Amino acid sequence: MTRWYRAMLVLAPRRLRHEHGADMEALFAERLAAARAGGAAAAAGVWARAAADLLGARIFSWRAERVPLTVYIDERTTIMVGSDLRYAWRALLRQRGASMLVVLMLALGIAANVTVFSLVNGLFLRPFAFPAPDRLVYINTAAPKWNLDTVGINYPDFVYWTKGQKLFEALTAFDGGSFNLADGDGAVRVRGAVITRDFPTVLGVQPVLGRTFTEEEDRPKGPKAVILSTQLWRDRFGGDRNILGRTIRLDGASHTIVGVMPPEASFPDQVQLWVPKAGDPAQPYQSYGGDAIGRMKPGVTVEQADADLKRANQPVWDTIDKEHAVTPYVRPLHETFVEDYRGAVKAVGGAVALLLVVACANVAAVLLARALARRREMGIRLALGSSRARLLRQLLIENLILSAIGGVCGLAAGRAALAGLIRLIPDQFPRWAHFGIDARVIAFSLLSMMLTVVLFGWAPALHAVSGDLRSAVGATTNGTTGAPRGRRTLRWLVGAEFAVSAVLLVCSLLLVKAFDRVRHTDPGFRADHLLIASVPLSEGTRPKAEQWFAFWKDLEERARQIPGVDAAGVISCAPFDGCHLGNFFQPENPIPRPDGKNPVVLMRMASAGYFQAMGIRLKEGRFLNDGDIAKGVATDDEILSGKVPLAVVVNESFVRTFWGEGATGVGRRIKFNGPKSPWIAVVGVVADVKHYGLERPMRPGVYFPIIVNPLSTMTIALHTRVEPESVTPALRDLLRRIDPEIPLVRPRSMETMIAASTALRAAFSWMLAVFAALAFVLAVGGAYGVATYLVTQRTREIGIRVALGARTADVFRSVVASGLAAVAAGVVAGLAGSVVVATQLGSALVGVSTHDAGVLSVVSLVLVGTALVANGFPARRAARIDPMRSLRTDG
Amino acid sequence: MAAETLKPHLFYILLALADGERHGLAIARDVQSLSSGGVRLWPATLYGSLDDLRSRKWIEELPEHPEDESERKRYYRLTRTGRAALNDEAERLARLARLARTRLGDAR
């Protein structure tokens, strides 16, 4: 056992270990033996105490050793700083080119880091602009039995929570939506939210004008009231302070304006107006939807709040939800809204940090080359009575000046780059995120400047003042090949740059490849020449489902007549739109499910023309046709009694999930999840449409004929012979002719929608690629610079060799080989490292192998090839050295 | 001379050496019994302290080992200065104890 203690002795200072090692071991053995009676715990205690004892001795020895150093600092430190600064500045100006190069490289590295850190800061670190934001929590419900993480809020449940909770100051439920806003001069579609009364209380915001909703207004059939956002108030109503009490029409119904909210209340997204929920907890079978936010009482933790909410939910479990299907949960608010960005930001953050390392290695190489050339100066100053500490301090000040200039330039460039980036992809960042300069960004910039000084400063400074400087003074020419250690460090730096570049290049190429793969994923339909637009009907002017159905039928019919349009169709929920309507079904004779859970099925209501308009591929049977639609809107009774026989089309995932791989779907039947549902015949199977995005897995899906449940807002799809967006005016015109109060919402081509759905991935893949390319350019530049410098240093030596009979080819080969060895080692290490790093990218690679042979070989070929070129030019120059002239150089 | 107060474990080590020379392990055992188990010296502390005391010239290593003990053990004994330092510390502690007793007496 004491063998281990002997091994542990390395923790102790060496002198102690050598002097007393055996005795210490004996004492430890005695302690261990004494503890044996106490069992394993006591023995563990002895080991722990012994380790602490050894470490303590080591720490004490450091403290003790540092003391004498102070004795040597005998110069008048404070007075010297000024002259140090002046001298450093002059030294930097003397080599203006190299200094500018250094500043440029540092600025580049720091700019990239500032950019990415500002993103991190805006998304993750900066708290929400509400009072005491850490007490805000996100609330929703999950149904593990149904495979759902986010079910939504059920109003009666919510009322139980507000009554039963003890640890919240207030709770609020809100649900985003959009409204047709009409006020005399036409209709617009605005984003709004339905909120419960406590919404402003929870967020801690006060109306800038008027008041918040009263209790009466939040009751069923209460007075219809609306609160405007500052933006809507300014844009639409000219900031009129007499607006309170005026009425506007929302979805056809009159609402009285009671207040105006400050901009930060538009949470979580561009909300323009709020209306009260006015829910009735007594009404049974309310749907689940939206989200809730709570403000915890001071000092309450999220875990406590979670338990409190679950306790408040007990009456729901006791009465309505006896199966315990739906469980509420509490999460930190901020975490909920940044989840999507976490992976991307981590990868990009890692990449810029590596880029900074490469930039620093390059700067170190430049400065090291300079430092080696300055050894003579250092030697003379040392001989004149300066101390090494003094010389080091001066070099440190030079580095600090460089880093400070680089940092300031980098900060400015980083801010510009960030602004450009946000302009480039405006829709990808949440509205509440602000990316301005704050104390954290400043602190980060300062920190990265200091880090760069440490990273690039050590090697040059060390080599400049270490070793035998007296001989450096004696060396009368700079053509001699002094300081082999310095040259080794230079090569080592270049090798490290290539290693880091290899990691970055491999990862970014993998991501670009993954992006390409995602972009070329088959969406399951024909995405070109497709125009998509939502059309919301005002339920005020058209209250009945029959009216909606008639409208959709008419719209589809007339849209087909628009010149340039081939086919038109209507759907309740278009792909890539972010919408989802889930339901449960009972398929006939399903295969047993391994987890025993009934998967959620995406339910869509489609017109007969939709499938042709979208170009969805038929796999089996037939599409829905006019015969399925012709019966008109079916009531629940008609459906349940089977009076209106329904036909549905399912997707391939549905067949695979419920009836197994390779099974046929046509001829089988499904029914709703209730006891009274009739069987519904499956008449066709279609290819999976990537509804949730190209990278997301598709759920089982079912298309119902529109008559089952026509909605008041549906999406129209037009297949065009011409550029799809060129049809928009004609469609808007058509709509206006049918009803001037109905707006056309977000008309755009399907290709635009798909591009938008992959924009975040595109942005982050290309950012990484740009950083990798920068690192690569820096590394190649570094290799070239170092090779050139080394050849210059060796001019005399090469001259002698040539004079002694070395052939041109020999010289060339020796120069290139000495440069390439470090690069090759770096590339090998980098490729090995990249495989490890790439595994961290995980699902972002969508199945692209981390050791993709193509990528790895391209990267190694490119790196070694460019290194060959970078070393080749200096080598060629070396090979042409005229021995006579070189020997005479600076003789 | 001992203006600084002596760390307890140093005091105990000096105390252990007060009635004759000892080797490291014996010092550790002695300290433990002198302090009735209160002070247990761990290896690096003990030998580090011994080196420290030696550099202060308060203790010295015996040039040769007593015959009956095994070869490799190193023996230490107090020097004159070490004994003086121990004395000073004992004085200081006694003064402190007297002071405390008077004060406590007043309070009663």
Beta-carbon separation of B40 and A22 below 8 A: no
Q: Residue A115's beta-bridge partner residues?
A: none
How far, in Å, are A450, A452, A623 from residue A93 at the CA level? 22, 21, 78
Q: Does A6 touch chain B (CB under 8 A)?
A: no
3-state helix, strand, coil in chain B (%, to 5): 55, 10, 35
For residue B3, being part of any structural domain is answered with: no
Report, in this order, helix, strand and coil percent for chain A, each rounded to 5.
Answer: 55, 15, 30
Which chain A residues are Cβ-neighbours of B74 within 8 angstroms?
A: 23
**Residue A87 included in any domain:** no
In a domain, B73, yes or no: yes
Residue A276 is given by DSSP the state: E
Strand partners, A180: A189
Chain A residues with CB under 8 Å of B45 CB are 53, 56-57
A53 Cβ contact list (under 8 Å, min separation 6): B42, B43, B44, B45
Mutate to test the interface with B, among A5, A16, A20 (most CBs of B within 10 A): A20
Average pLDDT of every residue of chain A: 83
Residue B2 domain flag: no
> Cβ contacts (< 8 Å) between A53 and chain B: which residues?
42-45
> Is omega for the bond preceding A268 within 30 degrees of 0, making it cis?
yes
More confident of the two residues A100 and A138:
A138
A366 and A222 in a single domain? The answer is no
The CATH number assigned to the domain holding B32 equals: 1.10.10.10
pLDDT band (50, 70, 90) for residue A612: very high
Partner B contacted by A53 (CB < 8 A): yes
Q: Whole-angstrom Cα distance, residue A497 to residue A662?
A: 53
Q: Do B44 and A16 touch (CB under 8 A)?
A: yes
The C-alpha of B96 sits at a distance from chain A's nearest C-alpha, in angstroms, of 29
Strands (E), A99-246: 136-142, 153-154, 168-182, 187-195, 209-210, 225-229
CA–CA separation, A722 and A755 (whole Å) = 20
What value does the mean pLDDT take over residues A586-611?
A: 86
Cβ-nearest to B24 among A12, A27, A56: A27
Interchain contact A16–B (C-beta under 8 A): yes
Nearest CA in chain A to B24: A23
The values of phi and psi at residue A67, to 5°, are: -55, -50
pLDDT grade for A641, boundaries at 50, 70 and 90: confident
Contact: B44, A19; criterion CB under 8 Å: no
**Residue type at A306 in one-letter notation:** D
Residues A543 and A450 in one domain: no
Amino acid type, A456: F
Which residue in B25, B45, B73 is closest to A30 by CB distance? B25
Q: Is the pLDDT of residue A813 over 70?
A: yes
Contact present, A704 and A646 (Cβ < 8 Å)? yes
CB contact under 8 A, B48 and A57: yes
Q: Is residue A107 within a helix (H) or strand (E), and if so which, with residue range?
A: helix A96-120
Average pLDDT over residues A657-662: 89
Contact A50 B43 (CB under 8 A): yes
Tokens matching residue A4: 């281990």
Would the CB atoms of A50 and B45 count as touching at under 8 Å? no
Nearest to A334 by CA among A170, A129, A471, A536: A129
Among A78-92, A203-217, A501-515, B1-15, which is the least confidently predicted range?
A78-92
The answer, for A24 touching chain B at a CB cutoff of 8 Å, is yes
Q: How many domains does chain A have?
A: 4
- Residue entry with tokens 């046509």: A666
A60 touches chain B (CB under 8 A): yes
Cβ contact (<8 Å) for A25 and B43? yes
User: Is the CB of A579 inside 8 Å of chain B's CB atoms?
Assistant: no
Q: What are the E-state strand segments in A120-252?
A: 136-142, 153-154, 168-182, 187-195, 209-210, 225-229, 247-250
Same domain, A380 and A450: yes
Contact B44 A53 (CB under 8 A): yes
Q: Where are the beta strands (DSSP E) in A653-700?
A: 669-672, 680-686
Residue A127 pLDDT more than 80?
no
Same domain, A251 and A385: no
Of A70-79, A476-485, A707-716, where does the model show the most confidence?
Answer: A707-716
Final residue before a domain boundary, out of A706, A741, A776: A741
Contact A27/B at CB under 8 A: yes
Nearest-CA residue of chain B relative to A28?
B43
Test A30 with B28 for CB contact under 8 angstroms: yes
Do residues A354 and A424 both lie within one domain?
A: yes
Contact residues on chain B for A19, CB-CB shorter than 8 A: 47, 51
Which of A15, A53, A60 is facing B43, going by the closest CB pair?
A53
Do A864 and A729 fall within a single domain?
no
Residue B21 forms part of a structural domain: yes
Same domain, A352 and A463: yes
How confident is the model at residue B72, as a pLDDT? 64
pLDDT at A380 over 90: no
- Partners of A26 on chain B (C-beta within 8 Å) are 25
- The answer to whether residue A274 is domain-embedded is yes
Give the rounded distance of the alpha carbon of A481 from its chain centre: 50
In a domain, A749, yes or no: no
Question: pLDDT at residue A814 above 60?
Answer: yes
From the list A780, A786, A804, A781, the residue with the least C-alpha distance to A881 is A804
Gap between the Cα atoms of A606 and A614, Å rounded: 11
Give me the helices (H) in A610-739, please: 610-614, 626-629, 636-640, 652-659, 728-738
Nearest Cα residue in chain B from A58: B44
**A50: chain B residues, CB-CB within 8 Å:** 42-43
Q: CB of A404 within 8 A of CB of A89?
A: no
User: A642: which 2 tokens?
Assistant: 């089977």
Give me the torsion for CA of A847, A852, A854, A858, rounded to 10°.
120
Distance separating alpha carbons of residues A662 and A442, to the nearest angstrom: 60
Query: Which of A67, A98, A113 represents a domain boundary (last residue)?
Result: A67
Average pLDDT over residues A805-827: 86
Would you state the structure tokens that stand for residue A697, as one six-digit string?
């897995």
From the CA of B101, how many Å to the nearest CA of chain A? 36
Q: How many residues does chain B have?
A: 108
Scanning every residue of chain B, which has its alpha carbon at the shortest distance from the alpha carbon of A24?
B43
Q: Cβ separation of A23 and B73 shorter than 8 Å?
A: yes
Q: What's the CA gap between A502 and A828, in Å, rounded? A: 9
| In a domain? residue A315 | yes
Residues on chain B touching A54 (C-beta within 8 angstroms): 43-44
pLDDT attached to residue A276: 92
Residue A686 CA to its chain's centroid (Å) = 34
- The reported pLDDT for the residue numbered A684 is 93
Straight-line distance from the first to the last Cα atom of chain A, in angstroms, rounded to the nearest whole number? 67
> A723 is written with which tokens?
């550029």
Mean pLDDT on B35-43: 85
Contacts of B41 in chain A (CB under 8 A): 27
Pick from B43, B48, B73: CB nearest A28: B43
- Better-scored residue on pLDDT, A153 or A467: A153
How many domains would you assign to chain B? 1
Q: Which of A198, A195, A429 is closest to A289 using CA atoms?
A: A195
Give the chain A residue whose CA is nearest to the CA of B51: A16
Q: How far is CA A534 from CA A537, A569, A604, in A?
A: 10, 12, 15
* Chain B residues with at least one Cβ partner in A under 8 Å: 23-25, 28-29, 40-48, 50-51, 72-74
User: Which residues in A492-506 are b (16+ Cβ under 10 Å) and which e?
Assistant: bbbbbbbbbbbbbbb
- Is residue A132 in a domain? no
Domain enclosing residue A425, as ranges: 341-519+759-888
- Smallest Cβ–Cβ distance between B44 and the set A22, A31, A56 belongs to A56
User: Rounded to the nearest 5°, which phi and psi values hold at B25?
Assistant: -65, -40
Mutating which of B27, B47, B51 best tests the A interface, going by the most A Cβ atoms within 10 A? B47
Residues in chain A closer than 8 A to B52 (CB atoms): none
User: What confidence score (pLDDT) does residue A618 get?
Assistant: 92
Q: Report helix, strand or coil for A880.
A: coil
Which of B32, B40, B42, B45 best tests the A interface by mutation, with the highest count of A CBs <10 A?
B42
pLDDT at A701 over 90: yes
User: Are the Cβ atoms of A53 and B28 closer than 8 angstroms?
Assistant: no
Verify that A288 and A385 share a domain, yes or no: no
Are A627 and A659 contained in the same domain? yes
Three-class SS state of B106: helix
Contact residues for B33 (Cβ-Cβ < 8 A; gap 6+): none
Beta-bridge mates of residue A151: none
Largest pairwise CA distance in chain A: 109
Identity at A839, one-letter amino acid code: T
A694 found inside a domain? yes
Residue A639 falls within a domain, yes or no? yes
Better pLDDT: A771 or A322: A771
Residue A77 confidence (pLDDT): 46
Confidence band of A186 (pLDDT split at 50, 70, 90): low
In a domain, B1, yes or no: no
Give the DSSP per-residue string, A477-511.
-TTS---HHHHHHHHHHHHHHHHHHHHHHHHHHHH
Instruction: For residues A380 and A313, state if they share a domain.
Output: no
Rounded to whole angstroms, the Cα distance separating A723 from A265 reads 40
pLDDT for residue A645: 77
A689 and A764 part of one domain: no
Confidence of residue A839 (pLDDT cuts 50, 70, 90): confident
Q: What is the DSSP string of A744-800?
A: PEEEEEHHHHHHHHTHHHHHHHHHHHHHHHHHHHHHHHHHHHHHHHHHHHTHHHHHH
Rounded to 5 degrees, what are φ and ψ at A430? -65, 150
Residue of A nearest to B28 (CA): A27
Q: Kind of pairing, strands A253-261 and A247-250?
A: antiparallel
Q: Number of A:B CB contacts under 8 A?
A: 57
CA distance A867 to A780: 6
A chain contacts of residue B73, beta-carbon cutoff 8 Å: 23
B24 with B46: CB under 8 angstroms?
yes
| Chain-chain contact of A24 with B28 (C-beta, under 8 angstroms) | no
User: Is A384 domain-assigned?
Assistant: yes
Token couple for A407: 């940092």
pLDDT of residue B66: 57
Give me the percent of chain A exceeding a pLDDT of 70.
92
Closest CA to A98 of A318, A389, A331, A372: A372
Kindly list the residues from chain B whose CB atom is less than 8 angstroms away from the CB atom of residue A22: 72
- Say yes or no: A572 and A681 in one domain: yes
β-pair type (A273-276, A187-195): parallel
Exposed/middle/buried for residue A616 (C-beta within 10 Å: 0-12, 13-18, 19+): buried
Q: Which domain holds residue B52?
A: 8-107
Instruction: Nearest by CB to A27, from B43, B48, B74: name it.
Output: B43
Q: How far is CA A628 from CA A623, A633, A709, A870, in A?
A: 10, 11, 13, 71
Per-residue pLDDT tens over the stretch A230-277 = 888 988 888 888 889 888 888 878 899 999 998 888 877 778 899 998
Nearest CA-CA distance, residue B91 and chain A, Å: 29
